[in-house]
Amino acid sequence: MTRFAAPIAEQIWDMKYRLKDAEGQPLDATVEDSWRRVARDLAKVESDPALWEDRFYAALEDFRFLPAGRILAGAGTGRSVTLFNCFVMGTIPDSMEGIFQALKEAALTMQQGGGIGYDFSTIRPKGAEVRGVAADASGPLSFMDVWDSMCRTIMSAGSRRGAMMATMRCDHPDIEDFIAAKQDSARLRMFNLSVLVTDAFMEAVKTDGPWELVFGGTVYRTVPAQDLWNRIMRATYDYAEPGVIFIDRINRQNNLHYAETIAATNPCGEQPLPPYGACLLGSVNLTRLVSDPFTPQARLDMAALDDLVRVAVRMMDNVVDASKFPLPQQADEARNKRRIGLGVTGLADALLMLGLRYGAPDAVEQTRAWMKAIARSAYLASADLAREKGAFPLFDRDAFLASGFMRRMDADVRDAVARHGIRNALLTSIAPTGTISLYAGNVSSGIEPVFAYAYTRKVLQRDGSRTEEEVTDYAVQMWRDLHGDAPLPDHFVNAQTLAPQDHVAMQAAAQEWVDSSISKTINCPADMSFQDFKDVYLSAWDLGCKGCTTYRPNAVTGSVLSVSEAAEAVPQVDTGADVVYLTRPLDRPVALEGATYKLKWPASEHAIYITINDIVQSGHRRPFEIFINSKNMEHFAWTVALTRMISAVFRRGGDVSFVVEELKAVFDPRGGAWMDGRYVPSILAAIGGVIERHMVAIGFLAGEGLGLKSDPQVEAVAMGERPLGPACPSCGQYGMRMNEGCMTCPNCGHSKCG
């Protein structure tokens, strides 16, 4: 009997969490071995390791408690790795030396795979005087470009992908440039962006008041608050960024308000953290705690929930001692405050099992009740741990109890903390759980609604062939097992059919009893009016959320997976006007049209010749293959590799313009060159520029730096089945979708945020 509810779950375990040796041979023979490895490692610090190893194993068994992927993959391996997911780096000094020291620290953290956040509000604005060098400052965005290049370099070196969050205060003089930064499709692709919105700014927006842009006590200019708010909203409406973080609310509610000031979050936003702050994550799988699902007696076992939360808190507290850290400052921060981020997954599926419609008032109230129960159990467990092992080092009883969050807590919990202290300064968070939710049998992610009841996944076999398998949502599959082909009940809803305000209501209900924050995407329909879109953010503010992230599919952001009400439906997506998607590479015709370009890189003795050949379909040309040649033998290996890789991409079809974007963003640490009056950061970026000019010349791109050229008179040419969504950069399969703030692949678990 396999423990896995679906083939994809076992594949995720094998790819991501199963311990293997240097040759790739499995050391964990079964998933039970993985659970035992993790349980044994986290029990080592206990006075009775055998007792707690068995209790930890029982929590992991049947996917009831799901530690974050780093813990599952790293605990008990003997490897020097961090088990923490989230980092916010130190405050960036407003000096050249300090800025590049901060860049070095970011690179070291990124090298270990940590997702990092930074507040760039501390860097003086563009044009400000730099004393002593008779120059003007280049501004924070110019340094963000350097961070972006660093992240790309770390990724290209083969390390685990990382992600970055950049924040900027709403009163920084460069805030308007920050808001518009990612409207350049080639800029800051490694960053998520969020504006730090203050209470004063929201008040100015509501009263249509003026807003001062200030740095270092100097007012640079004054703008209408509503105009700045509309800039933020319009950018998010059209480009899906920047997000909004209600920073004063975060600091006011923070249990550690007396010991830290927060100005940034991790990349997905669920962990607002101070300088050098670090947090680990884990989720309670609510679907495994529901008794008598889809019956009038359906209920969530509250006693089992309490027991599971208490064990999970102890396990996660032990991770603080078991983990390594990229920087000593991060280790000190983690051990002085012992932050953990315990959350949930499978919420939407659990509601379905109880007959509740996601977003409906009764579902909102049930969510609030469950999250309060989890918070109570977590805080009482941490108080018990403090009695046994001691409170976190920076605990101050009176100040801690005076926080906005603790003032809402029940009297018995406050009394326990007053008597014994508390082991962990903060305990709850709802993180992205896309991959571990697949590992647990495709339960609904975090507190998100079910995204798709079912979809078809292509699986690469050992012989190179591909087979298809249907991946079904956990609750839908359970319904089918119980009721066969009977129609799904009316309370079954998914992300495509929900009103945005339903999303907001659910996020706000969960946030009330989460002491950190929540990673959630509010899906908005493409035809939603701008005014209604702005109302979503105002509702999030009014209902007490700590931030807001939306996704509205359009020509810029791309379409996401859309599904019908039927579980059997295969998701479809509009492919656009002139994009050709291929399920297998196209055979090469005997003759092709093309052009050859000469590229003279200033630092190289020999020119590079680039030939791009095109295929003509329905009267339209598109790139089909490329040849890159040079007499410089030092270039031979990488030009051959680039020729083969880019040609393979071109022959798969679809929107291949990302090749240009990726090449143009490559940064050469030895220095770039000036070409035709502009700075080109590397020879690869120069090749990207040649490919881009060719694509513009043949009409494939609308212009330099722009997207695909659309022609409403031409129908899409689709060969084979149409894709489920954008292509995954990891496995190459189509179907990427926005979920919990991350573009996520349902086929292999890859996500933009790591």
Longest dimension (CA), the chain: 83
Measured CA to CA, the distance from residue 672 to residue 666 in angstroms comes to 10
Pairing between β-strand 65-67 and β-strand 278-285 as defined by DSSP bridges: antiparallel
**Residues 19 and 72 occupy one common structural domain:** yes
Q: Is 731 a catalytic residue?
A: no
Is residue 10 scored above 60 in pLDDT? Answer: yes
For residue 164, the SS3 value is strand
What is the 3 state secondary structure string of 365-408? HHHHHHHHHHHHHHHHHHHHHHHHHCCCCCCCHHHHHCCHHHHH
Contacts of residue 674, Cβ cutoff 8 Å, sequence gap at least 6: 602, 680
In the structure encoding, which two tokens stand for residue 78, read together?
Answer: 């003997």
List the catalytic residue out of 105, 241, 260, 270: 270
The residue that leads in pLDDT, 667 or 729, is 667
Measured over the CA atoms of residue 395, residue 399, residue 402 and residue 405, the dihedral's sign is negative
End residue of a domain, out of 486, 520, 554: 520
- The least confident of 110-119, 158-167, 689-698 is 158-167
pLDDT at 481: 94
Report pLDDT digits (tens) over 547-598. 999 998 876 665 433 343 333 333 333 333 334 444 445 667 777 888 899 9
Catalytic residue, candidates 86, 170, 268, 524 = 268
Task: List, for residues 693-736, the tens digit of each pLDDT value.
Answer: 998 888 888 777 665 554 433 223 232 333 445 656 555 555 66
- Whether residues 71 and 141 fall in one domain: no
Q: Which of 485, 520, 555 lies at the terminal end of a domain, its last residue?
A: 520
Whether 715 is in a domain gets the answer no
- Which DSSP string do the residues of 247-267 spell out, in sequence order? HHHHHHH-TTTTT----EE-T
Q: Is the peptide bond before 623 cis (omega within 30 degrees of 0)?
A: no
Residue 618: per-residue pLDDT:
62
Q: How many domains, the chain? A: 3
Question: Which domain covers residue 374, as residue numbers?
Answer: 1-85+266-520
CA–CA separation, 668 vs 681, rounded Å? 6
What lies within 8 Å, CB to CB, of 452 at 6+ separation is 473, 494, 561, 563, 571, 746
Does residue 362 contact residue 506 with C-beta atoms inside 8 Å?
no
> 36 in a domain, yes or no?
yes
| Helices 500-511/530-542 angle, 10° precision | 20
Helix or strand or coil: residue 45? coil
List Cβ neighbours of 590 (8 Å cut-off, separation of 6 or more).
none
Give yes or no for residue 286 having a pLDDT over 60.
Answer: yes
Task: Quick: pLDDT tens for 13-24.
Answer: 999 999 999 888
Do 14 and 62 fall within a single domain?
A: yes
537 pLDDT exceeds 70? yes
CA gap 692, 708 in Å, rounded: 11
Neighbour count for residue 328 (Cβ, 10 Å): 9
Distance of CA 578 to the CA centre of its chain: 30
**Is 43 a domain residue?**
yes
pTM: 0.79
Q: Which two tokens stand for residue 481?
A: 């097992």
**For 342-363, what is the mean pLDDT?**
97
At 753, the pLDDT band (50, 70, 90 cuts) reads low
Nearest to 655 by CA among 586, 588, 575: 575
Catalytic annotation present for 745? no
Residues 290 and 423 in one domain: yes
Same domain, 226 and 304: no
The mean pLDDT value for 81-90 works out to 90
pLDDT tens track for 219-232? 999 999 999 999 99
Q: How many CA atoms lie within 13 A of 42 on its CB side?
A: 30
Based on the fold, state whether residues 66 and 133 are members of the same structural domain: no
CB 471 within 8 A of CB 442: yes
Half-sphere exposure of 110 (CA within 13 A, CB side): 30
User: Residue 89: CB partners within 8 Å, gap ≥ 6?
Assistant: 102, 105, 106, 109, 116, 117, 118, 264, 275, 276
Indicate the residue type of 485: D
DSSP 8-state symbol, 93: P
Distance (Å, rounded) from C-alpha 197 to C-alpha 246? Answer: 5
The position carrying tokens 């996520």 is 744
What share of the chain in percent tops pLDDT 70?
Answer: 86
Cα-based distances in Å from 461 to 11, 352, 465, 467, 468: 12, 34, 5, 7, 10
Q: How far apart are CA 207 and CA 191, in angstroms?
A: 32
Residue 527 lies in a domain: no
Q: Same domain, yes or no, for 346 and 476?
A: yes
Do 119 and 230 reside in the same domain of the chain? yes
Strand 86-88 vs strand 593-599: parallel, antiparallel, or unpaired? unpaired
CATH of the domain at 20: 3.20.70.20
Contact 362, 294 (CB under 8 A): no
C-alpha distance across the termini of the chain, in Å: 32
Q: Are residues 385 and 483 in the same domain?
A: yes
Residue 203 has a CB neighbour count (10 Å cut-off) of: 11
Question: b/e string for 4-13 if b means 16 or more Cβ within 10 A?
Answer: bbbebbbbbb
Residues in Cβ contact with 75 at an 8 Å cutoff, skipping those fewer than 6 apart: 37, 38, 41, 42, 67, 83, 319, 322
What's the CA gap between 738 and 189, in Å, rounded? Answer: 16
Q: How confident is residue 72, by pLDDT bands cut at 50, 70 and 90?
A: very high
Answer yes or no: do 233 and 271 share one domain.
Answer: no
Which position among 266, 318, 424, 494 bears the catalytic label?
Answer: 266
The H or E element spanning position 631 is none
Whether the predicted pLDDT of 434 surpasses 90: no
Same domain, 51 and 131: no
Q: Please, which residues have CB within 8 angstroms of residue 426's CB and are 6 or more apart in sequence?
A: 254, 255, 256, 279, 337, 339, 340, 341, 515, 516
| Of residues 447 and 160, more confidently modeled | 447
Residue 671: partners with Cβ closer than 8 Å, 6 or more residues away: none
Average pLDDT over residues 174-192: 90
- Rounded mean pLDDT of 640-657? 83
Statement to judge: residues 427 and 317 lie in one domain = yes
Residue 754 has pLDDT above 90, yes or no: no
397 in a domain, yes or no? yes
Query: Residue 154: which pLDDT band, with cuts at 50, 70 and 90?
Result: confident
CB atoms within 10 A of CB 538: 16
Domain final residue pick, 681, 697, 713: 697
Task: Let me know the angle formed at the C-alpha of 30 by 26 and 35, rounded to the nearest 5 degrees.
Answer: 105
Active site residue 266: yes
Whether 578 is in a domain gets the answer no
507 within domain boundaries? yes
Q: Is residue 729 part of a domain?
A: no
Q: In whole angstroms, give the CA distance from residue 342 to residue 362.
A: 24
In the numeric block, which tokens belong to residue 292? Answer: 């008598």
Question: Residue 150: what pLDDT?
Answer: 87
Contacts of 499 (CB under 8 A, 6+ apart): 359
How many CB atoms within 10 Å of residue 568?
11
pLDDT for position 607: 86
